[in-house]
Amino acid sequence: LLPFIYIVTLGGQQPRKHYGITSSISLAFPREIDHIYTQKLTEAMKPFGVFEGEDELNHRLAVLGKLNSFVKEWIAEISESKNLPLSAVANVGGKIFTFGSYRLGVHTKGADIDALCVAPRHIERTDFFSSFFEKLKQHDEIKDLRAVEDAFVPVIKFKFDGIEIDLLFARLALQSIPDNLDLRGDSLLRNLDIRCIRSLNGCRVTDEILYLVPNKENFRLTLRAIKLWAKRRGIYSNMLGFLGGVSWAMLVARTCQLYPNAVAATLVHKFFLVFSKWEWPNPVLLKQPEDSNLNLPVWDPRVNPSDRYHLMPIITPAYPQQNSTYNVSTSTRTIMSEEFKNGLTVTDEILQGKADWSKLFEPPNFFQKYKHYIVLTASASTEENHLEWIGLVESKIRVLVGNLERNEYITLAHVNPQSFPGSKENHNENEFVSMWFIGISFKKLDNSDCVNIDLTYDIQSFTDTVYRQASNINMLKDGMTIEATHVKKKQLHHYLPPELVQRKKKVKKKVCVYSVSKKAKLYPISLLGRFFLFIYFFFFSVPIATPVAKPPAPPAGNTIPTVVGRSVIPRITSSSPSPTELPSSVNGAPKRPHSPSQEDPPKRHKDTEVLSSL
């Protein structure tokens, strides 16, 4: 199948091709100034470590070459142990495929490599997690080896000569695996189990994206810029309801299809132009979905009612097509839409010569943006337990965001993807602590009455969900706790270093008040004169407001109310319950179909697993 469509023209002209599901917006070729802006964009990204040097690239290639040989050697050994003929053993093959940011060519310094081990039909998954795992363990250059066999997409993680690698496994219904195997063919999915299909999906999507863009180099440089921008602006996290790497790649690929001849500087600007005006939830598609008659579930709102509630669908181009952004919520979509508009404003200024590219990568001051925050704290008694615990807690934060969004008085719940270490002042020195911050915007009320907003249930149902999930997978251990606390902006300095919460100083212009005489000459008024003017206007021109009685204090209990304008929200502290104390059920508020289920297993951090979900 070709990635483009031919448009037939009249008058004997050559047919013109275009990429994607629609014709291009512009076929204009770059001007000299566009190349200059692209060079400046490249220079602006270098300080952030987005480009890897030649030595590091060669080191990665060497490591992958060793791993590929290692896999072929292991497959041959297993084939021989299963009494295959020697002639078959010699040609059985096996291969390592890469996907994700490394395969797209946009990985950064020190980034890990997502890889897939493809084996023939007589190699079982149990062989991969037993004999191959043991073979890796004996290798001197392999460190930090661990297997996650019960994950949604099973994986072996390790460091090979300093390079972090996440290795998936898939066996195909083939007698041997040739070196020139192309995974893009849908027929390879026949008779495969669901875990193999999920594992293959990452490679198939990555390869399809590269196949569907008109110019790979322009695509890669643009994607590097957009990924850096998204990370700097705090909207790069699939797990927390923003977009992950593959979703950003598909948005950039669609922009490249619409402007096939443009260079990176133009494409970055057009990216913000297109998606600041995109009418969500219209889906982003790189090609028309195809049905391969393999009866696998695909994203189709005409057939699946739940798909109709996805807020920001970006559809993977490889069969079975899936929405890579099903975690997006009302709040995260609102935040990303604002960032698209802000990016358009900044790139307009850059291309007009009014600003530099560095302005695009300036981080927002999250801790000055909101008046109210919820501080979510996860603690554990050991470092090992802490790493395990924060992984589960972070995977469930979007459930808390969903609970807050359903509160009628909250208009926005903005989670900062970055976690922060807990201060020793507020916690035991022997504890390992991580904190997340959620900015809260309350609805503006027309009346002047005080409204009590109780978030106890919203937060308690979230903590119960985390504890129950931890108990179900036998993770819950002594010392594992969650604490959710409401704080005002002025209280953030108790939790964060001063440089994060201090407002950037602005140069104040000297203001001078003048009076106008009959001769139209301006005379500055003295400080004493200003004082008397203030007294006059305050007492004689403005009605004096009647004081409003304070609302009665709520009853004492485990909820400590804090007055928030017209609102009252609580401070919740949840200690780790024993498994027998866990609530049997959490009867939550009516759940939106697109909201994540509180019982869903924790999602892996990798975007590839989101793609692999069926």
Catalytic residues: 101, 112, 114, 166, 227, 236
**245 annotated to bind ligand:** yes
CA distances 290 to 1, 208, 481, Å, are: 11, 13, 47
**99 annotated to bind ligand:** yes
Q: What is the DSSP string of 383-452?
A: HHHHHHHHHHHHHHHHHHHHHHHTSTTEEEEEE-S--EEPPTTTS-TT-EEEEEEEEEEEPPPSS-----
**Amino acid letter, 341:** K
CA distance 367 to 234: 12
Helix, strand, coil shares, percent, the chain, to 5: 40, 15, 45
**97 annotated to bind ligand:** no
124: enclosing H helix or E strand = none
325: enclosing H helix or E strand = none
CA distance 348 to 42: 18
**166 annotated to bind ligand:** yes
CA distance 98 to 115: 4
Instruction: Report residue 135 as tokens.
Output: 């073979």
CA distance 391 to 393: 6
**454 annotated to bind ligand:** no
**227 annotated to bind ligand:** yes
> Distance of alpha carbon 90 from its chain centroid, rounded?
44
**246 annotated to bind ligand:** yes
> Distance of alpha carbon 358 from its chain centroid, rounded?
22
Can you give the three-state secondary structure of 138-175, one letter per residue? CCCCEEEEEEECCCCCCEEEEEECCEEEEEEEEECCCC
**50 annotated to bind ligand:** no
Residue 284, classed as helix, strand or coil, is: strand
CA distance 254 to 280: 15
- Beta-carbon contacts of 160 under 8 Å, excluding residues fewer than 6 positions away, are 63, 66, 67, 141, 142
Residue numbers belonging to the annotated binding site for ATP: 99-101, 108, 112-114, 166, 227, 236, 245-246
Residue numbers belonging to the annotated binding site: 99-101, 108, 112-114, 166, 227, 236, 245-246
Residue numbers belonging to the annotated binding site for Mg(2+): 112, 114, 166
